[in-house]
A and B are shown apart, each in its own frame.
Chain A
């Protein structure tokens, strides 16, 4: 009897020990960064600006070993999901990389990011270094919550000069000219427009620019302000109709809905001459410079502004895109981490070395007084074009998927995908989207 009892007890103990050891295996993942209590942490994005940020932080760390920053990189889409989950769980990094807009607002509403207004006031030189139009995107209700950290990224119409010469065409200045180019390129066996439709957000650039050109920036300002029925503006319907007309005419490359922009397949179509044009963000210049060297350095890459729409109300100088990326400081970080983070923002960012590295990579830093540096760059044509675009734009509308709340943004991208595929009508899009107002 006693031996049996003893055996049961021993069994129970070993079982418990086993559970504990297994559980220990489970928790040995990456340790929480903010909660860890040591130096500040920073999550950046892989891609064009990765080496620039890496060098900037390395330089900071070697000069300030007492305030060192731990830097990790993530891919764009994965980052967006990961950071939000991490911030919600109180495990986010000290430096939160963002785009401003609706996501920043949700962090502010949840008291997850520091109010930097006092810091900016005490250190006016920080504020003064930025282009004012860009800086505004880090403000919510007149308070500064995020500071720009890299380059200005307006959406630009890129074209392949070689292909245009072959067909004997000129880049379109109006929507009519654009539509007239479609059959010309199709006859020559070249797709008029490349499009990374599987990633969905490249579709959005078409809607953003068309609505901007047709109705001006107020149309989206109303949508972003959650005004009831704001999507019913005739400019939206007209823009959606024009998109479907262009799709009907065969304007977009075959199979566009399975092309992923995240793998740069859309740019590849442009520089391999399979497509004549692509509407994409300013950041793809860096990618093409790296992947298709002679295409860019040989002057075969052309770029221009989005065409005007006949009878449209929007100022042709207005742009849409990403004004910049931003750093916010986590409110959950320790005082020591916050101090290190603010010191980096003040003295470690946009050093001469950073600015030069950004320009050398083919990007336009979001700061004042860099005209001479841009003019001295081998990419001066593109850089001065983008700088001028951003600086002279009466209105710079943030990409809609970033400006809206995540729930609205997700619904918008899915429904716009359906518009490009002609699965729904512009009227259906408008009524579905009106239902998301305020969500």
Chain B
């Protein structure tokens, strides 16, 4: 009896005081929960940002849900999310594994790879906009025929240009995550595999990849949910155009709120954005399996 009670006591004392969570909790309440509630409330109103807020029931929701531009924005968001993931995940995984090696030249290359991480999205967008200018950009400047394209003005091409620029900016970040993940894998696993005669590819597939399971989930969650937040880069690079080709959901929300001054509809879009983001994050966590606290290092 005494032993169990003292055990229980120790278990309670082991963790730090719950009060430590207070500042974070206060901030979360003030800067996340309260504005969130505000947005949900505003989505049932009509407000132009100047006059008094009028309760209008579901009017904003009907406008948003029947507007074909919303559907298009969702489609564009899904496309950018899908292609961003397809492009970024393999590249950053491979680069992460590569830069995790201890060779000097790899460390030097890693520094170069991480450079884009230091630049702000707006700066990246302005630089690429200048490089891709159809008349004064890289292609016409160097007279390289393949580069002379209307990169940002062609409705079919522009989406892939956007995906490329996003990848250019964010691959370094995910590479960093994978690099850290790979470095945590005990070398004993590789040594054992080598003794068993496994080649490099085999080692990668049977040790590195399974060991990186949670790193992959973390990185993918950030990639997928993050693509719901791509705004600054696309706003500066294309402004959502040409036409509606790159007007993805967050940008559509901004333009509805601050260009068309329809805060009600913009709030409804914001709620949609939050629901999708939370749903995706939960889904990806589920994919990680329920027994995520189990050790992956048995026998290491």
Binding site for B on A (CB under 8 A): 7-8, 11-12, 15-16, 18-19, 22, 81, 84-85, 87-88, 106-107, 109-110, 112, 197-200, 253-260, 265, 268-269, 274, 406-407, 409-411, 414, 417-418, 421, 423
10 further interface pairs, Cβ-Cβ under 8 Å (given A19-B26, A112-B50): A15-B23, A85-B49, A88-B49, A109-B50, A197-B153, A254-B135, A255-B135, A257-B241, A258-B134, A421-B242
Cβ of B258 and Cβ of A198 under 8 Å apart? Answer: no
List residues of chain B with CB within 8 A of the CB of A109: 50-51
Interface centre among B19, B69, B132, B244 (most CB of A within 10 A): B19
Partner of A259 from the list B51, B135, B260 (CB cut-off 8 Å) is B135
Interface SS of chain A: helix, strand, loop or mixed? helix
Of chain B, the residue at the smallest CB distance from A85 is: B49
Minimal beta-carbon separation of A199 from chain B (angstroms): 8
Q: How far is the CA of A198 from the CA of B17 in the complex (A)?
A: 55
User: If the complex has contacts A22-B27, A265-B135, A269-B135, are A8 and B17 also in contact, measured as CB distance less than 8 A?
Assistant: yes
**Does B50 lie within 8 Å of A84, measured CB to CB?**
yes
Whether B259 contacts A406 by the Cβ 8 Å rule is: yes
What are 23 pairs between A and B in contact, CB < 8 Å? Answer: A7-B17, A12-B19, A15-B20, A15-B23, A16-B22, A19-B22, A19-B26, A88-B50, A106-B261, A107-B50, A255-B134, A257-B152, A257-B242, A258-B134, A258-B150, A258-B153, A258-B242, A259-B133, A259-B135, A406-B260, A409-B260, A411-B260, A417-B241
Residues of B contacting A112 in the complex (Cβ-Cβ under 8 angstroms):
50
Interface size of B in residues (CB-CB distance below 8 Å): 36
**Across-interface contacts of B260 in A (CB, < 8 A):** 406-407, 409-411
Interface string of B121-137 (1 = CB under 8 A from A): 00000000100111110
**How long is the Cα–Cα vector from A414 to B50 in the complex, in angstroms?**
23
A15 contacts B22, C-beta separation under 8 Å: yes
Within 251-283 of B, Cβ neighbours of A (below 8 Å) are at: 255, 258-262
Residue of A nearest to B51 (CB): A110
- When distances are taken between beta carbons in the complex, the residues of chain A under 8 Å from B239 are 198-200
Chain B nearest Cβ from A156, distance in angstroms: 22
- Give the distance in Å from the alpha carbon of A11 to the alpha carbon of B20 in the complex: 7
Best-surrounded residue of B22, B69, B241 (most CB of chain A within 10 A): B241
Q: Classify the secondary structure of B's interface with A.
A: loop
- Give the docked Cα–Cα distance between A411 and B243 (Å): 11
Within 8 A of A (CB), among B103-142: 129, 132-136
Interface digits, B233-254 against A, CB 8 Å rule (1 contact, 0 not)? 0000011011110000000000
In the bound assembly, the distance between CA atoms of A259 and B155 in angstroms comes to: 14
**CB atoms of B23 and A18 under 8 A apart:** yes
A268 in complex: contacting residue of B134, B136, B261, CB < 8 Å: B136
Nearest chain-A residue to B242 (Cβ)? A257
Chain B residues with Cβ below 8 Å from A409 are 260
The 8 A-B residue pairs with the shortest CB-CB distance, nearest first, are A255-B134, A258-B153, A258-B152, A110-B50, A257-B242, A257-B153, A410-B260, A255-B150
> Which residue of the partner chain, among B19, B155, B238, contacts A421 with CB atoms under 8 Å?
B155
A87 to B51, CA, bound (A): 10
B residues near A199, Cβ cutoff 8 Å: 239
Taking CB atoms, residues of chain A closer than 8 Å to B243 are: 414, 417-418, 421, 423
In the bound complex, residues from chain B placing their C-beta under 8 Å from that of A107 are 50
A260 nearest in chain B by CB position? B129
B61 CB-CB contact with A under 8 Å: no
